[in-house]
Amino acid sequence: MRTKILSKVLLSLGLMLMLGSAITQVHSEEDKVPIIKIHSTEEAVVRGKTGSFVLSMNPILFGERYVNFSVKGTAIPGVDYVPLVSPAHIGKSGYGVILVQTLPDPRGPASRDSYSVVVTLEPGPGYAVGEPRSAQIMIKPLR
C-alpha cells in the first residue's frame, strides 16, 4: 500500500517537473530579445522649447541597442521641428531619448494652430517592439 502511494506521488512529481520545464522553455524563448517601449515626457511643448520621447528596454541585461523608428503627424520636419533621424540609441541603463527641438513658426504670430509629432517604433534586429509602440507630442504656438 505504501509503495503504491509513494509511486503515485513520485509519478505526479515527475509529471509536474516535465510540465514546468516545458513552460519554462517557452518563456525563456520569448525573453531572449529585449522589449522596447516608448512614451512622451509631456503632452505638449511650446515653440522654441524641446520636447522628448523616452525609450525603455526590458530587460536591460542585453546592453546597448539601436532602435528604428518612423515619424508622422501634422507637424512638418524642418518647418515645425528639427527633423528626427532614425535609429535612436538606448544605452546600458536601458533608456534612450529622442529630442524634438521645435522651431519658430514660419506662418507668423497670427497662427494659433497646434501640430503633432508622432514617433512609432519599428521592428529591427535584436529587439522586439512592445506596447506602447508609439507616442505623440503636440507643438503649441507661443501665446
Tens-place pLDDT, residues 61-71: 768 999 999 99
For residue 30, give the H/E element and its range.
Answer: helix 2-30
Tens-place pLDDT, residues 72-90: 999 999 999 999 999 999 9
Is the confidence at residue 127, as pLDDT, over 90? yes
Q: How much is the pLDDT for 109?
A: 72
How confident is the model over 114-124, as a mean pLDDT?
Answer: 97
Contact by Cβ (8 Å): 135, 110 = no
Contact by Cβ (8 Å): 44, 114 = yes
Q: How much is the pLDDT for 47?
A: 93
Query: What is d(CA 16, CA 14) in angstroms, rounded to the nearest whole number?
Result: 5
Q: How much is the pLDDT for 123?
A: 96
Nearest partner of 69 among 133, 130, 116, judged by Cα: 133
In this structure, of 14-18, 93-97, 109-113, the range with the lowest mean pLDDT score is 14-18
